[in-house]
Structures are given as C-alpha cells and as structure tokens.
Amino acid sequence: MSELAHGAHPQGFAHQFEDMDQQRDAGRLGMWVFLVTEILFFGGMFTAYTIYRALHLPAFVQGSHQLIVKFGATNTAVLIFSSLTMALAIRSAQTGRKKGTIIFWLILTWLLGAAFIGIKLRFEWYRDYLEGLIPGVQWFYNGPHAPGVKMFMCFYFFMTGLHAIHMVVGLGILTVLVIMTARNKFSAEYYQPLEISGLYWHFVDIVWIFLFPLLYLIGGRY
C-alpha cells in the first residue's frame, strides 16, 4: 500500500506519515508511552506487595527464605548480559555492520532470554512444585506464618509469572527481528523496529532488577 502511494519513499515507510523522521519519532514515542502503561501495570502489583509486606512482615521474611538466591542472582546476571547483547545488536545496525553481526547479537540475546526462562522453570518453579510451594496448585507448607507465607508465594508467582510472560513475548519479538534482519529489512537509515524492541527488552530487564531484591534479598538473608 505504501509503495503505491509513495513510491519514492524508503522501505519500511508507512503511508500515514509525511516522512521517515516523523515515523521514527512516532514509533519511539509510542513505545515510551507503552512502557509507561507497563510501569503502571506492574506498579499496581508492586503496591499490593509493598502493603502486604508491611502488614505481614515476619511472614514475608519467612516466605522470602523459601526462594533460592543463587538462581535469582544467576538469572539477574543473565538478564543484564542480555541487555548488553541487545544494545550491541542495535549498535551494529546503526553503524551499518553486516547483517550477520546483527543476527549474531540478536540470537545471543534470544539464547540468554531463553536461559533465563529455563533456569526459572527447571530450578525454581519445578522445585517449588515438588516442595508444595505453589498456592492453589500444590501446597504442603506448614511452617510458621503459613497464611502469610502463602500470600507471599502468591505474589512471588504473580510477579515473576507476569515478568516471564513479558520475557516470552520478548523472545517472540526477537525471533521476528532475526527474520527481518535476514531478509535485509534494516539498514543504517532504517533500524527503528530494532531500536524500539530494544527499549522493550531493557524495560523487562529493569522490572527484574526490582523484583530480585524485593522477592529474594530483603528477607534478611544474604
């Protein structure tokens, strides 16, 4: 459609815009606004968590002890590293590097994201299942502060689950980006989808940067 209407414009140009700059600005602003809604989305959950933590402090500390810090810490490192590789993918597109380089960084990012989810599933959630720490599904815990620990574990699963859903969406986006790069959709002039996907990926990382201390660390055990 765009090619019919504005044959002279570069690839990736959408008909409703006047020029490429306008399109780039619009895409960038759109993603930022979307991330603001995401902050509010997670924000409701963080608020509820904070209030219940204040109301049931000993139980939440006890609940935090059910988590294994070393896996959380590993995953934090994995995610931070994936943010670096994502940034490098965008940088290679921006500086007009070969598409092989871009694809390399994208696939590395994808693998790191998948590693995060793998660790989460295999070493954390699966173990929680075996040990009966999943409220409403498999619940054996009968130590101190049982009702409050149950509430903590609820929030743990809601928050990390919601985060994991965002990770899976991110992996889907990365897959699309790899295909687009392979089909020569990007150049030093047009790499906007890479850039705004990068914003999303970094945002998902930052959410984890808040989740990790809130859930794993501030229980008073280091």
Partner 1 sequence: MSTAIAELQESPAESRVNYLNATYGIKSWLLTLDHKRIGLLYLGSITLMFFVGGMAAVLMRLHLTEPQGALFEPETYNKLFSTHGIIMVFFFLVPSIPATLGNFLIPLMIGARDVAFPRLNLMSWYIFITGAALALYATLSGGVDTGWTFYPPYSAAFSHTNVVAVALGVFVAGFSSILTGLNFIVTIHKMRAPGMTWFRLPLFIWALYATSLIFVLGTPVIAITLFLLGMERILHVGIFDPAVGGDPLLFQHLFWFYSHPAVYIMILPGMGVVSELITAFSRKKIFGYAFVAFSSLSIAIISFIVWGHHMFVTGQSIYAGLVFSVLSFLVAIPSAVKVFNWTATLYKGSISYEAPMLYALGFIGLFTIGGLTGLFLAALATDVHLNGTYFIVAHFHYVMVGGAVMAYMGGLHFWWPKITGRLYPDMWARIAAAIIFIGFNLTFFPQFVLGYLGMPRRYAIYPSEFQVLNVMSSAGASILGIGYVIPLIYLIWSMRYGKPAPPNPWGAKGLEWTIPSPPPTENFETIPVVTEDAYNYASGAH
Please say which residue, 138 or 175, places its beta carbon nearer to partner 1: 138
Sign, CA dihedral 74-79-85-87, equals: negative
Please say which residue, 1 or 222, places its beta carbon nearer to partner 1: 1
Per the listing, tokens 């459609």 go with: 1
Please say which residue, 3 or 131, places its beta carbon nearer to partner 1: 3
Per the listing, tokens 């871009």 go with: 102
Instruction: Write out the residues near partner 1 by the rule CB under 8 A.
Output: 1, 4-5, 14-18, 22, 25-26, 29-30, 33-34, 36-38, 40-45, 47-48, 51-52, 55, 135-137, 147-148, 150-151, 154, 158
Cβ 154 to partner 1, closest distance in Å? 5
Cβ 100 to partner 1, closest distance in Å? 30
Q: What are phi and psi of 59, to 5 degrees?
A: -65, -40
Cβ 26 to partner 1, closest distance in Å? 4
Cβ 105 to partner 1, closest distance in Å? 27
What's the rounded Cα separation, in Å, for the pair 22 and 16? Answer: 10
Please say which residue, 31 or 106, places its beta carbon nearer to partner 1: 31
Cβ 93 to partner 1, closest distance in Å? 22
What's the rounded Cα separation, in Å, for the pair 12 and 26? Answer: 14
What's the rounded Cα separation, in Å, for the pair 125 and 196? Answer: 31
Please say which residue, 51 or 121, places its beta carbon nearer to partner 1: 51
Helices (H), 65-98: 69-94
Q: Give which of 167, 184, 175 is closest to 83, Cα–Cα.
A: 167
Cα radius of gyration rounded to whole Å, the chain? 21
